[in-house]
Amino acid sequence: MKKVLIPTKLDPVAKELLEANGNYTVVQDDSADLATLAAQNPDTYALFVRSEKVTAEIIDALPSLKVVIRAGAGYNTIDIKHARAKKIDVMNTPGANANAVAEEVIALMLADARHVVPADASTRAGKWEKKNFMGREVTGKTVGIVGLGAIGRLVARRLSGFDVKVLAFDPVLSEEAAERIGVKLVSLADLFAQSDYVSLHIPENEHTKGLINKTLLGNMKTGATLINCARAGVINEDDLRAVKPEKGLRFLNDVYAKDAEGDKTVTDIADIMVPHLGASTHEANYNAARRSAEQLIDFDEKGVTSYIVNRDIPEGLDEAYADLAFTIAKLTRTMIGTSTKLSKIETSFYGELQRFSNWLTVPVVCALSNDFDRSMDEKAAISYLEDMGIDYDIRPADESKGYGNTITVDLVARVDEESLKRISVRGTVAEGRLMISRIGGFDGLYFEPKGHLALFTYRDRPGVLSQIAGAMAEANINIDDVRNPHDESGERSIAILKVSQPVPGEILEKVAAKIDALSFCSVSF
């Protein structure tokens, strides 16, 4: 019998399912701290947690531990690297709380629109202030959803009964997939400018931290409402603090830098704030508990590994090639445009990498979207692309080309109804360093995608490189390295600059205009 320890207030369905299976004995106790329970149950095989911190010390106290399951989506409270070093698989249950969060968004919208919270307090105090609580209706409004993952899609579905116009921003979702969901894809700027309500459903990472800034907020309609049930860091709070009174914005919030007692930084700007209640429903707790038990049983009996979040590198594969796949895809995505709608991804894996092609699909997909986690498996990656309406093809590798262990990623995006755009990038690993060997028709590049890069393509002619260098110098940006070859025709050139700092968009545009660039972008690794 395998012992499962559940040191948290999780729905009893997990214990019931595991015990009914006959292969598990379950200890569920939320009255003691995890360290105490770990000391009392050193023979624990699987550990189910919610917000409990699973530290290296806890892991070391459980020498028989093989599986940790987070009954929920986030797993930042678990030391996944130490778990992997101990050959322990860590899983989560993504989507189990999606409906709970989606309904919370609707609840916040309605509570604010009808002044439910202050009206309740006023009436309980014996007052009768109907005139002070004149509300507004959600019906007929425009709602913008930033991020169409599981939660964003459910928000769109739950809004369908309100006869609202739903706009959405998602850099990966295709137009066809958006049409099936019933939303209209627009740019992030247009979404903020046109929406009466904006609901955020994006992760917090290097790309999204502070994404909701003064520019976007300043373009919102007067009296519009911003709802954040995603992550605290995606909003620049100082920018919101500055813009909110000018535009008369409403701000409804459920997320904070830390889930703990104490003062909150948004107290002065939030019109409604609740203590991270998104997943706090009986149904979400039940779903997460059931999923946890089912995933453990499927893992043990069927070898299902789809939800492992600290997946190990397959035996025989150098981890550098996983990083290479991610880096090539990220560069390709940047060059084709992070807001363009992808229609197809084509990959080629040469040499010894062919046998790992399915596994290497995961870092490729992860580089294209903030919503997809690099720890997921290839089945989840393919399913994600299908949901996004993007075709995916692993092309047979032509070994006669003698490329060795290299990876090629092609992205195809729809520019308009009649034309497509394709960007192709190939790379390899040399002496332990990632190398980009080809971009489109520019071959033999062999530059290291590291640090901050700026790329410009242009019609070849004398003096262009010096113009670029001069513009960078004017902006006080130092150039550390340059690649500047011609393409196969000799008519076009590419300037790849490794620079001392990220190049601001206005500088890129200024340089591009000065040299009449055919394309340009910047990217940091």
DSSP secondary structure of 340-369:
SEEEEEEEEE-GGGGGGHHHHHHHHHHHH-
pLDDT at 150 over 90: no
Read off the pLDDT of each residue in 287-306 and give the average, rounded to a whole number. 93
Residues 297 and 383 in one domain: no
Report pLDDT for 419.
Answer: 73
The beta strand positions in 419-491, using DSSP E, are 420-430, 433-439, 442-447, 452-459, 479-483
> Residue 374: which pLDDT band, with cuts at 50, 70 and 90?
low
Phi, psi of 264 (to 5 degrees): -115, 140
* Same-domain check for residues 396 and 519: yes
Same domain, 170 and 268: yes
* Section 399-412 average pLDDT: 91
Structure-token pair, residue 284: 């979400």
375 pLDDT band, cuts 50/70/90, is low
Residues 165 and 114 both lie in one domain? yes
What's the whole-number average pLDDT of the chain?
A: 92
192, 71: one domain = no
Residue ranges of E strands in 225-282: 225-228, 250-253, 272-273
pLDDT tier at 144, thresholds 50, 70, 90: very high
**Between the CA of residue 517 and those of 11, 84, 140, what are the distances in Å?**
59, 47, 44
Beta-carbon contacts of 428 under 8 Å, excluding residues fewer than 6 positions away, are 324, 403, 404, 405, 406, 407, 435, 437
Burial of 140 (0-12, 13-18, 19+ CB in 10 A): exposed
- Answer yes or no: do 390 and 520 share one domain: yes
Q: Which domain holds residue 57?
A: 2-96+282-302
Q: Tell me what the mean pLDDT of segment 70-78 comes to.
A: 86
* Pairing outcome for strands 492-499 and 452-459: antiparallel
Query: Would you call 234 helix, strand, or coil by DSSP?
Result: helix
- Assess whether pLDDT exceeds 90 at residue 81: no
Inter-helix orientation angle 319-336/357-368, to 10°:
40
- Distance from chain centroid for Cα 51: 21
Claim to verify: residue 469 and residue 410 sit in the same structural domain? yes
pLDDT value at residue 392: 93
| Residue 334 maps to a domain | yes
Residue 407 — φ and ψ, nearest 5°? -130, 135
If asked whether residues 217 and 237 sit together in one domain, one would say yes
Helix and strand numbers, DSSP H then E, in the chain: 17, 22
**Residue 359 falls inside a structural domain:** yes
In this structure, the answer to whether residues 245 and 147 fall within a common structural domain is yes
In the block, residue with structure tokens 């920018």 = 239
Neighbouring CB atoms inside 10 A of 157's CB total: 15
| Mean of pLDDT values over 14-31 | 96
Please give the residue that has the higher pLDDT: either 381 or 106. Answer: 106
As a whole number of angstroms, the distance between CA 21 and CA 15 comes to 10
Residues 413, 329: Cα–Cα separation, whole Å: 14
- pLDDT of 319 higher than 90: no
Task: List phi, psi (to 5°) of 370.
Answer: -70, -15
Query: Would the pLDDT of 278 be above 80?
Result: yes
**DSSP for residue 53:** -
Beginning with the edge strand found earlier in the chain, give each strand of the sheet holding 492-499 in spatial order: 479-483, 492-499, 452-459, 519-524
**pLDDT higher than 70, residue 494:** yes
Q: What is the mean pLDDT of residues 164-182?
A: 89
Confidence (pLDDT) at 207: 77
212: its two tokens? 């909701």
CA distances from 399 to 153, 318, 352 (A): 43, 20, 10
Degrees to nearest 5, angle at CA 83 with 77 and 86? 160
Is 406 a member of any domain?
yes
Among 171, 199, 202, smallest CA distance to 186 is for 171
pLDDT band, very low/low/confident/very high, at 377 (cuts 50, 70, 90): confident
Q: Which residues pair with 426 in a beta bridge?
A: 408, 438
> SS3 letters for 158-205?
HHHHHCCEEEEECCCCCHHHHHHHCCEECCHHHHHHHCCEEEECCCCC
Distance CA 367, CA 363 (A): 6
Claim to verify: residue 504 and residue 436 sit in the same structural domain: yes
Residues near 172 by Cβ (< 8 Å), separated by ≥ 6? 342, 368, 369, 371, 388, 390
When pLDDT is cut at 50, 70 and 90, the band that residue 264 belongs to is very high
Burial class from Cβ neighbours inside 10 Å (0-12, 13-18, 19+) for residue 281 reads middle
- Residue pair 137/113 in contact (Cβ under 8 Å)? The answer is yes
CATH code, 194: 3.40.50.720
Q: Is residue 311 part of a domain?
A: no
Q: In 54-64, which positions are buried (b, 16+ CB within 10 angstroms) versus exposed (e)?
A: beeebbebbee
User: How far is it, in rounded angstroms, from Cα 245 to Cα 266?
Assistant: 14
Q: Above 80 in pLDDT, residue 388?
A: yes
Q: Which alpha helices (DSSP H) does 41-97 contain, by range?
A: 56-60, 80-85
Task: Provide mean pLDDT across the span 452-460.
Answer: 94
Q: How far is CA 92 from CA 3, 27, 293, in A?
A: 19, 20, 11
The pLDDT score that the predictor gives to residue 61 is: 96
pLDDT reported for residue 338: 84
Same domain, 151 and 249: yes
3-state SS class at 306: coil
Residue 205 scores a pLDDT above 80: no
User: What percentage of residues in the chain have a pLDDT greater than 70?
Assistant: 99
| 8 A C-beta contact, residue 352 and residue 405 | yes
Q: What is the pLDDT of residue 346?
A: 95
Place of tokens 């986690």: 373
Please tell me which of 51-55, 56-60, 479-483 the model is most confident about, judged by mean pLDDT. Answer: 56-60
Q: Do 257 and 210 reside in the same domain of the chain? A: yes
- Determine the pLDDT at residue 521: 92
Task: Find the mean pLDDT for residues 327-354.
Answer: 92
How many structural domains compose the chain?
3
State the pLDDT confidence band at 417, using cuts at 50, 70 and 90: low
CATH number at residue 484: 3.30.70.260
pLDDT above 90: residue 328: yes
CB-CB contact of 62 with 42 (8 Å): yes
